[in-house]
Chain A
Amino acid sequence: MSARSNILNKLRAGLAGTTPRPDDFDEGLVTTPWQYAAEDRITRLRTLMEAVHTEVHQVTSAQWPAKVQELLESRGLGNLLYAPGTGHGRQLAVHWQRSCAKVQLMVYDRPIEEWKDELFWKVDASITGTVGGIAATGSLVLWPDRHEPRLMSLLPPLHIALLKASKVEDNLYGMMQKHNWSAGLPTNLLLVSGPSKTADIEQVLAYGAHGPKELVVLILEDA
């Protein structure tokens, strides 16, 4: 007998004569306490994210590339990993050319195995899009794909995320239902709610444990 059948048989024997419990999921319990007026949604998200050391800026969809440039230059950073195959990537590239920005643009265009060392140690910052935000917990939803792979939002010490104001939902349950997540998830879906942190030594909070030391969120107010 295989381990699989032994385990399943034991479990089935334990359930002999019982019926499954009904599904009495009460969605009100995970939605009602977490609903916000449209004008409070962004404030809530911002407050929660700032409470865990996230830098948040509200900008327009025309201005944000200049803001990115300013963020990088003020920190004296040398390069930025971006995705030229996305709409926001193209917009960034256009701005970079026009403004003759000095910060070098880098592209995640080959499998990780081909440039692991460089990606782990040499990239200063990255910029990615998000598919939305969650006001209740102050979270970003990242849906990594070919253009913006999983590690793009994890390895660089500074991660800049673009969030369209219209894509902020009240709570996780609403986000899940609205976008019908149960019908199909990507290989890796992420909720990100701040820069990497730990409190493993004396419960003293320290940022920049293994992931980004800084998270900057640019909320595009007119998008």
Chain B
Amino acid sequence: MSYTLNFAAVWRSFDLLLQGLALSLGLAVVAILAGSVLGLVTAFGLVSKSEVLRRPAGLYVTIIRNTPILVLVLFSYFALPQLGIRLGKIESFVLTLAVYAGAYLAEVFRGGLIAVPPGQREAGLAIGLTEMQIRTSIIIPLMLRNVLPSLGSTMISLFKDTSLAAAIAVPELTFEARKINVETFRVIETWIVASCLYVATCSLLAALMRAVERRLAVPR
């Protein structure tokens, strides 16, 4: 009980934490956007009737989802150069998180696709739309509405996963927090402030998602 909290050292470095948070958000946004595209393509593969599409999509999702992201992060940064693919720290992390996000979002989207009644596609065919048109203007919008709640929580969890970028020295929020720890040894105070920043950001994201959900809700 002899420990006294002293936030002075943390406030002195608060700018660093905010910069780190900004980078965390940036990493998450780029990775989620890229991951959504990857996830959507994979989801269509997963629900495809063709084995040639279903197999690789399933393999990708299974391997990525069952491996700790830390291993994936270290792999793309340290093993890919040995295979001739050289990326900077940030690029390498964003790529990894996008691949990771793709696997999770593919599962989310697959669930949404299954929930779209087949009658919708049939109706689209009946009014003369092509398969691609049916996908972009009927199935994807319906699917997105189906998956909004789980999409929101997947995005938030991906944002939190940006904390692992600290392992390869990307200066995001967790990295900055650890740096301040090493500097000041005010570990407890630093983590309190850092976790409040994370919580506040996640709450904002969640509120945003709820607002979108409400706006897009099917009127009953």
The judgment on whether A and B are partners is: no
